[in-house]
Chains A and B, each alone.
Chain A
């Protein structure tokens, strides 16, 4: 029986919460192709996370693997793939998943299809050529790709699948795999972690008040700050604002900035070029404030206020204040 291996990342013992998103398409594949599905993570034996999901699992353990080390991870997973004879190795295409998978692909010298959203044709069987849809331009464009290799390496585009409900079947004890790793592979391991002041970040804030070209200057962001403070959010910005030096890059929402999924995204004076849209499209609700009712972001938003953002925000702030 063919094997599909899903790599589930953990950070010092804590399973990545979004990692299981990759399981959903994997389960589907396993069923279609009549293949076995097993999971793998890296770390200490007796790892708790895998059992929660109720799948047969592997824990890759080695003295080097005390912390995230992409080169060693890649080497170890490649060895596991060879060892188990897995036909498919996949994981979620987040920062680490993409990185580790690239290493695996390099070690095995196999192609790697990044950010798959759908496997459209696996009718050639598990070792035949597949067709799948993958993400380009951060999600504003898709590609139908053909993968010809017998051994398939994929990453799954984040935010594409809901993770399966827990307890997928009978819990099975994880088996430990001890790879053979050269000492020098420790050279790319995390050597230090620096915690920055606690507080809301773009990634975690429930509401993001974001500004673009329409804000006009660094000083003009003050009113966005004021609103964000009032409603418990943080300020974000578009690439134009960063490139003009109005805001630091850490505030940038977009394809090459931070991708966010707050409860509410308030986009002020942002027209909504591809670059920006893909960073905010996962937001639960979007409110656009813009003078242009046909600005792409306005037409894509759930709510919009048509008007000058400075005027609208000033009125909004005084309205909120009057209610408090």
Chain B
């Protein structure tokens, strides 16, 4: 069972996102970076599948050289191999991103396809909701998004997707592609030995050519914040009667 997970390095903002002066990016001077949360869960899912079925879990990212940090993190939580597809921009449109990934994956596979390629359902920052599907289509493989559960059953991947009533089940023949949602697994934290191992991990680099897509970012902007006049119902336990009144108004009591 050879699995590939494609992840994206994204900033980890607090409650307030600050833009750079040219509005082309968010100000990350004080921010750490992380793997986009859906993808973090996808990595965990891959590691768990590898633990259950053998094989390898490979993590790939397309991004700046600093994205090696996210690759090493993946190793520290169990990935076997990591691949960097160097890109000098973080603003590649989804079409171009998918095309670059297809080239990189094709080169990596060189005739031996991954049994499963996992993506996150959407990236935390740009949220295009499409890269995994475009890649799967280009590779001619079945793909399903939004998975909250994933299992391997013989030569099929069984995926679960949440609905209002419960869940839907999909069965895709391998090799397949899937986009995971957070909650598909609870990602583990790295151990000290894991972290140390990750420092020594070999980073494979796959260089690809980038095309440009039809969508481009002009600039970022902050949504107009609704100014809410917060009504303070009280302090501590004394506020209880006021809260009860609110519950009554809303019709809950």
- Report yes or no: B230 in contact with A301, Cβ–Cβ below 8 A: yes
With A111-B93, A136-B125, A315-B236 given, name 16 new contacts (CB 8 A): A70-B143, A93-B129, A112-B215, A137-B13, A146-B215, A146-B218, A191-B171, A203-B164, A256-B181, A273-B14, A275-B37, A285-B246, A298-B230, A299-B230, A300-B226, A312-B239
Q: Select one of A103, A190, A257 contacting B170, CB under 8 A.
A: A190
In Å, the complex CA distance between A95 and B217 comes to: 23
In Å, the complex CA distance between A17 and B234 comes to: 39
Q: Cβ of A306: which chain B residues have Cβ within 8 Å of it? A: 232, 234-236
Minimum-distance CB pairs A-B, first 5: A249-B183, A111-B214, A315-B237, A307-B236, A102-B130
Q: Cβ of A314: which chain B residues have Cβ within 8 Å of it? A: 237
- Report yes or no: A257 in contact with B183, Cβ–Cβ below 8 A: yes
Within 8 A of B (CB), among A274-317: 274-275, 277, 285, 287-288, 293, 296-308, 311-312, 314-316
Q: Is A79 an interface residue (CB 8 A)?
A: no
Q: Is A35 an interface residue (CB 8 A)?
A: no
Chain B nearest CB, measured from A158 CB (Å): 12
Chain B nearest CB, measured from A268 CB (Å): 12
In Å, the complex CA distance between A144 and B222 comes to: 10
Q: Is B15 an interface residue (CB 8 A)?
A: yes
Chain A nearest CB, measured from B189 CB (Å): 9
Determine the main DSSP class of A at the interface with B: mixed
Q: Is B145 an interface residue (CB 8 A)?
A: yes
Knowing A102-B129, A136-B126, A311-B236, the reply to whether A192 touches B182 (Cβ < 8 A) is: no
Q: Cβ of B252: which chain A residues have Cβ within 8 Å of it? A: 206-207, 231-233, 263-264
- Report yes or no: B130 in contact with A106, Cβ–Cβ below 8 A: yes
Encode B124-152 as 1/0 by CB contact (under 8 A) with A.
11111110011011100011111000000
Q: Cβ of A136: which chain B residues have Cβ within 8 Å of it? A: 125-127, 220
Chain B nearest CB, measured from A324 CB (Å): 9
- Report yes or no: A107 in contact with B221, Cβ–Cβ below 8 A: no
- Report yes or no: A146 in contact with B216, Cβ–Cβ below 8 A: yes
Q: Cβ of A149: which chain B residues have Cβ within 8 Å of it? A: 214
In Å, the complex CA distance between A92 and B73 comes to: 35
Interface segment out of the listed A23-31, A163-171, A194-202, A211-219:
A194-202
Q: Is B112 an interface residue (CB 8 A)?
A: no
Chain A nearest CB, measured from B89 CB (Å): 15
Q: Is B63 an interface residue (CB 8 A)?
A: no
Q: Is A87 an interface residue (CB 8 A)?
A: no
Q: Cβ of B214: which chain A residues have Cβ within 8 Å of it? A: 110-111, 147-149
- Report yes or no: A148 in contact with B237, Cβ–Cβ below 8 A: no
In Å, the complex CA distance between A95 and B252 comes to: 30
Chain A nearest CB, measured from B94 CB (Å): 7
Knowing A112-B128, A194-B169, A256-B181, the reply to whether A316 touches B243 (Cβ < 8 A) is: yes
Please report the number of residue pairs spanning A and B whose Cβ atoms sit closer than 8 angstroms: 278
Q: Cβ of A112: which chain B residues have Cβ within 8 Å of it? A: 94-95, 128, 130, 215
8 A-B residue pairings within 8 Å (CB atoms): A102-B133, A106-B134, A112-B130, A141-B222, A143-B218, A194-B169, A287-B233, A316-B239
Encode A200-240 as 1/0 by CB contact (under 8 A) with B.
01011011000000000000000000000001110000010
Q: Is A127 an interface residue (CB 8 A)?
A: no
Q: Select one of B130, B136, B165, B183 contacting A250, CB under 8 A.
A: B183
Chain A nearest CB, measured from B227 CB (Å): 9
- Report yes or no: B233 in contact with A106, Cβ–Cβ below 8 A: no
In Å, the complex CA distance between A113 and B217 comes to: 11
- Report yes or no: A111 in contact with B215, Cβ–Cβ below 8 A: yes
Q: Cβ of B219: which chain A residues have Cβ within 8 Å of it? A: 143-144
- Report yes or no: B169 in contact with A242, Cβ–Cβ below 8 A: no
Q: Select one of A189, A263, A303 contacting B230, CB under 8 A.
A: A303
Q: Select one of B164, B170, B231 contacting A302, CB under 8 A.
A: B231
Q: Cβ of B136: which chain A residues have Cβ within 8 Å of it? A: 106
CB-CB nearest in chain B for A276: B15
- Report yes or no: A145 in contact with B218, Cβ–Cβ below 8 A: yes
CB-CB nearest in chain A for B249: A285
Q: Is B8 an interface residue (CB 8 A)?
A: no
Q: Is B192 an interface residue (CB 8 A)?
A: no
Encode A248-266 as 1/0 by CB contact (under 8 A) with B.
1110100111000001100
CB-CB nearest in chain A for B250: A264
- Report yes or no: B235 in contact with A144, Cβ–Cβ below 8 A: no
Chain B nearest CB, measured from A288 CB (Å): 8
Encode A49-83 as 1/0 by CB contact (under 8 A) with B.
00000000000000000001011001000000000
Q: Cβ of B220: which chain A residues have Cβ within 8 Å of it? A: 136, 141-144
In Å, the complex CA distance between A139 and B127 comes to: 10
CB-CB nearest in chain A for B16: A296
Q: Is A174 an interface residue (CB 8 A)?
A: no
Chain A nearest CB, measured from B24 CB (Å): 10
Q: Is B251 an interface residue (CB 8 A)?
A: yes
Q: Select one of B137, B172, B236, B253 contacting A103, CB under 8 A.
A: B137
